[in-house]
Amino acid sequence: MRVKRRLLLMLMMAFLMAFTVACSDDDDDSSSNVGTDGEIAGDLEIQYFVGGYGDSWWKEVIADFKEAYPDVNIIEHAGPNINEEMRSRWVSNDPPDVVYIDGAGSSETQMVEDGQLMDLTDWLAGIDLEGGDKLADSFIVKPANYDGKIYSLPLVFDTWGTWYDKALFEGNGYTIPTNFDEFMESMSEIKAGEGIDPFVTTGQHPYYFLRGMLYPAFAAAGGEELLADVITGKEGAWSSEQVLDIMTRVEKMVDEGMFDSGLGALNHTQSQMNFLLHENAFIPVGFWLPNEMKNDIPDGFDFGFIPSPMNAAGETYAIVPDLRPLAIAEEAENPDAAKAFVEFVFTREYASSFSGHTGAIMNLNGVDLSQNEDVPVYLTEANAMINDPAVVQIYEKPHPMSADLETPIGNALISLMLGNMTAEEFIAEAEKAAGEYRAGLE
Amino acid sequence: MVQSKKQKYTFLAFCLVPTFIMFAIFTLYPLFSGLYYSFFDWSGSSSNREFIGFANYIKLFKDTIIPDTIIHDYFLVVTKIIGIMVLAMFFAVALTQLKIKEAPFYRIVFFFPNIMSVVVIGILWTFIYNPSLGLVNSGLEFLGLEEWVKPWLGDEKWALPSIILPAVWAGIGLFMLMLMGGIANISKSYYEAARIDGASEWQQFWKITLPLVWPQVKVSILYIVITTLNGSFILVQVMTGGGPNNSTHVMGSYLYQQAFKQYNFGYGATIGVMILVLSLITVLFFQFLMRREKVEY
């Protein structure tokens, strides 16, 4: 009797133990971060999102780093859902050491607000590139500035723009537009010539249109000031004359049937597939488009990239870079190795190989892409165009728009694109959303 | 051997304690932590959080999207109950009473969607509704009904009704089987007696079949209510993501958007509490509505 009861108790204890063990963290990492001779050593955890750029560049860099620092044991956390998968680690204050911030479920602004990233301001000032240039002076676009402090280093320089098929355009003599009037003209030609709705974007993610078409338009019309006001939801920015003017252009596109009639239902891959199948002729996406769709590109398709032609006649093309930063966690367990890795990555050599691997540009200036055979043609052309201020103006945004503002504005935007709202109604909705966003910040 | 009281209780504890521990860990703990987090301003992605009392609840009452999500959810509940119950009842009666030779085949065909993941169903129907390549629009064009062609899931008016079709389609099989089980239990002699008395098929259905399978109908309806309020978000999330312009957001998908896309985890938890309260009220309401004396002949 006694024995039986004891057995039962033990069984239950074992059951409970199994639970506790399963639920506990394995944070009893006792390995030292510093090797015997003071070298950088120990475990280094790197979290990186794998999306349109693929992961081949990361594999190369990490392999090289291992060779240079044999005492460091790199643990990679990578994949298309890595931001979701690592969330519990961040919540429990046990983050990886280095994080590349990109993809769904990640937000640099949110991480800075939550104090999860290390202040790199002083450290950055002491870093030199291989040629002796200061790293801090060698970025194409400067790191995001949060009240004078730098928490992340922009690694990938990407930009939204408008894609078209060069082969189609050259074969049929369609105009490649440089401003909105030409854009409308070109779309009318295509509508008549091909019998298709010329413009497509994803209706499920209206921010593609917002970031890809509207940001450049705002920048071209009102410079970085208007862009910043719109992104931060400043009072009166969305209802300003300049914004109304641009939204009227969108309404004009709707009225003349330039948008794909089914775009409301399309997710981003479906819209990109439509574009590749010549169901449409223009699509706003970033540099990652060819790499993301590389398995579905029809024969003879030739990617052409222009800054989104939403600018009025007389204004130059505008692009608003979209940066993907690399950062070190505030709670990093091996900050020395993390810093060594970040310093290791930012070289012009890796910048050149980055373009070959991903079809995008790394955020370092003075990189000669024309010498690298792996770099796709559209990128060298786009790179040359972006570096010619007579053709393209670069406008920097202060930081990405908060999801709390972008979501309601995106919702109103899709209504406008579907023709269920006028430009005036959109502006009223957007101004209201900005008001609510500002109220939420207080 | 007669069991002593002690033995009996030990045995009961042996059976109940592990279950209770599981229940506590996987149901009670999340339930109460959800309630707890609804009082915080928390991004859900860091360890920082701030107690803000009822601020999230005040926000909930002021949020203009919330009433829409509730209406959408109950629209789905009502249409799903009607759609699924009518069709499931029809097929159940047809397959049991009409002596169709291929009945086992149909039983499998109708049950088939139930073994598919809801996510797969959602993706499948997204293709069916695809504006240019989808079956629906191609079918309409084939029939010469071009003016009916529309981007179903991308249309602010039609997106929500379009989600009902897969939801009903996926639900019929299970409830059909439940009702068939109920019908099989009805003694054939009732029908014979009714026929001798001159009752038509309709009368037999209304006076015999329906009252005697009422317990199954009741369970089915409650089950549909609960699964819809808690689970309709999967189809919405996969097929439309709540868009266009919030026209298909249900409470669950809005919760997901707030908690995981807009980094308002505390507010998401508040929406979760609202779903819990509304589900409870709805279930109680339906229990009350469908109370009916048990019929025995």
Residue of chain B nearest A404, judged by CA positions = B262
Judge if A412 and A283 occupy the same domain. yes
pLDDT tens digit string along B10-42? 999 999 999 999 999 999 999 999 999 999 999
CA-to-CA distance for B25 and A277, rounded, in angstroms? 51
Judge if A66 and A85 occupy the same domain. yes
Judge if A95 and A208 occupy the same domain. no
Amino acid symbol at A277: L
CA dihedral B64, B42, B274, A435 (to 10 degrees): -10
Answer whether B3 touches A (CB < 8 Å).
Answer: no
Number of domains chain A is built from: 2
pLDDT tens digit string along A371-403? 777 888 888 888 888 778 888 999 988 888 888
Token representation of residue A227:
């862009």
Q: Across the interface, which of A90, A203, A412 has its CB nearest the CB of B154? A: A203
CA-to-CA distance for A80 and A100, rounded, in angstroms? 12
Token representation of residue B80:
């799903």
* Residue in A78, A138, A80, A81 with CA at minimum distance from that of residue A348: A138
Dihedral sign, CA of A240, A243, A246, A252?
negative
A interface test, pick of B153, B245, B258 with most A CB neighbours within 10 Å? B245
User: Stretch A25-40: mean pLDDT, rounded?
Assistant: 48
3-state secondary structure of A153: strand
Residues in chain B closer than 8 A to A90 (CB atoms) = 45-46
Judge if A248 and A172 occupy the same domain. yes
Answer whether B74 touches A (CB < 8 Å).
Answer: no
DSSP string for residues in A101-143: --STT--HHHHHHTT-B---HHHHHT-B-TTS-BGGG-BSSPP
Please give the DSSP secondary-structure letter assigned to residue A259: B
Distance from CA of A377 to the nearest CA of B (A): 32
pLDDT tens digit string along A132-156? 888 988 898 888 888 889 999 999 9
Determine whether the interchain pair B131/A115 forms a contact, defined as Cβ–Cβ distance below 8 Å: no
Determine whether the interchain pair A414/B21 forms a contact, defined as Cβ–Cβ distance below 8 Å: no
Highest mean pLDDT among A376-385, B82-91, B142-151, B283-292: B82-91
Q: Across the interface, which of A12, A93, A205 has its CB nearest the CB of B47? A: A93
B interface test, pick of A11, A87, A204, A209 with most B CB neighbours within 10 Å? A204
pLDDT tens digit string along A286-336? 988 998 898 999 999 999 999 999 999 989 999 999 889 999 999 999 999
Is A36 a member of any domain?
no
Confidence of residue A109 (pLDDT cuts 50, 70, 90): confident
Q: What CATH number is given to the structural domain containing A183?
A: 3.40.190.10
User: Stretch B185-191: mean pLDDT, rounded?
Assistant: 90
B interface test, pick of A205, A418, A425, A429 with most B CB neighbours within 10 Å? A418
Judge if A242 and A287 occupy the same domain. yes
Judge if A214 and A326 occupy the same domain. no
Residues in chain B closer than 8 A to A92 (CB atoms) = 47
Judge if A358 and A282 occupy the same domain. no
* Residue in A375, A175, A390, A352 with CA at minimum distance from that of residue A287: A375
Distance from CA of B84 to the nearest CA of A (A): 26
Distance from CA of A352 to the nearest CA of B (A): 34
Judge if A219 and A118 occupy the same domain. no
Answer whether B47 touches A (CB < 8 Å).
Answer: yes
The pLDDT of residue A31 is above 60: no
Amino acid symbol at A21: V
Token representation of residue A403:
């999801």
Percent of chain B with pLDDT over 90: 63
Is A177 a member of any domain?
yes
Residues in chain A closer than 8 A to B13 (CB atoms) = 8
Distance from CA of A128 to the nearest CA of B (A): 33
Cα→Cα distances B57→A189, A225, A422, B268, B280, Å: 54, 36, 33, 11, 18
CATH no. for B60-289:
1.10.3720.10
Confidence of residue A2 (pLDDT cuts 50, 70, 90): low
Which structural domain range is residue A332 located in?
42-157+322-367
Judge if A219 and A254 occupy the same domain. yes
Q: Which residues of A touch B (CB under 8 A)?
A: 4-5, 8, 12, 15-16, 19, 84, 87, 90-93, 105, 107, 110-111, 113-116, 203-206, 260-267, 270, 274, 279, 403-404, 407, 411-412, 414-415, 418, 420
- If you count residue pairs, one on A and one on B, with CB atoms under 8 Å apart, how many are there? 111
Residues in chain B closer than 8 A to A270 (CB atoms) = 130
Q: Exposed, middle or buried, A150 (CB in 10 Å: 0-12/13-18/19+)? A: buried
The pLDDT of residue A100 is above 70: yes
CA-to-CA distance for B155 and B152, rounded, in angstroms? 6
Q: What is the three-state SS of chain B?
A: CCCCHHHHHHHHHHHHHHHHHHHHHHHHHHHHHHHHHCCEEECCCCCCEEECCCHHHHHHHHCCHHHHHHHHHHHHHHHHHHHHHHHHHHHHHHHHHCCCCCHHHHHHHHHHHHHCCHHHHHHHHHHHHCCCCCHHHHHHHHCCCHHHCCCHHHCCCCHHHHHHHHHHHHHHHHHHHHHHHHHHCCCHHHHHHHHHCCCCHHHHHHHHHHHHCHHHHHHHHHHHHHHHHHHHHHHHHHHCCCCCCCCCCCHHHHHHHHHHHCCCHHHHHHHHHHHHHHHHHHHHHHHHHCCCCCCCC
Residues in chain B closer than 8 A to A107 (CB atoms) = 45, 263
pLDDT at position A435: 95
Backbone φ and ψ for A244, nearest 5 degrees, come out as: -60, -40
Determine whether the interchain pair A116/B46 forms a contact, defined as Cβ–Cβ distance below 8 Å: yes
pLDDT at position A75: 95
Judge if A331 and A275 occupy the same domain. no
CB atoms within 10 A of CB A332: 22
Judge if A185 and A278 occupy the same domain. yes
ipTM: 0.83
**Do residues A434 and A405 lie in contact, with contact meaning Cβ atoms separated by under 8 Å?**
yes
User: Stretch A94-123: mean pLDDT, rounded?
Assistant: 90
Token representation of residue A287:
């540099």
Domain ranges of chain B: 60-289
* Residue in B72, B82, B113, B66 with CA at minimum distance from that of residue B233: B72
pLDDT tens digit string along A260-283? 998 999 989 899 999 999 999 999
CA dihedral A55, A57, A63, A68 (to 10 degrees): -140
Residues in chain B closer than 8 A to A266 (CB atoms) = 131, 154
H or E element: which one contains A169?
helix A166-172
Determine whether the interchain pair B129/A265 forms a contact, defined as Cβ–Cβ distance below 8 Å: yes
Judge if A124 and A256 occupy the same domain. no
Distance from CA of A35 to the nearest CA of B (A): 31
pLDDT at position A32: 43
Distance from CA of B18 to the nearest CA of A (A): 8
CA-to-CA distance for A152 and A98, rounded, in angstroms? 10
Q: Across the interface, which of B45, B130, B240 has its CB nearest the CB of A114? A: B45
pLDDT at position A288: 87
Answer whether B185 touches A (CB < 8 Å).
Answer: no
pLDDT tens digit string along A112-137? 888 899 999 999 999 988 778 889 88
Q: Across the interface, which of B13, B45, B126 has its CB nearest the CB of A91? A: B45
Half-sphere exposure of B154 (CA within 13 A, CB side): 31
**Do residues A308 and A382 lie in contact, with contact meaning Cβ atoms separated by under 8 Å?**
no
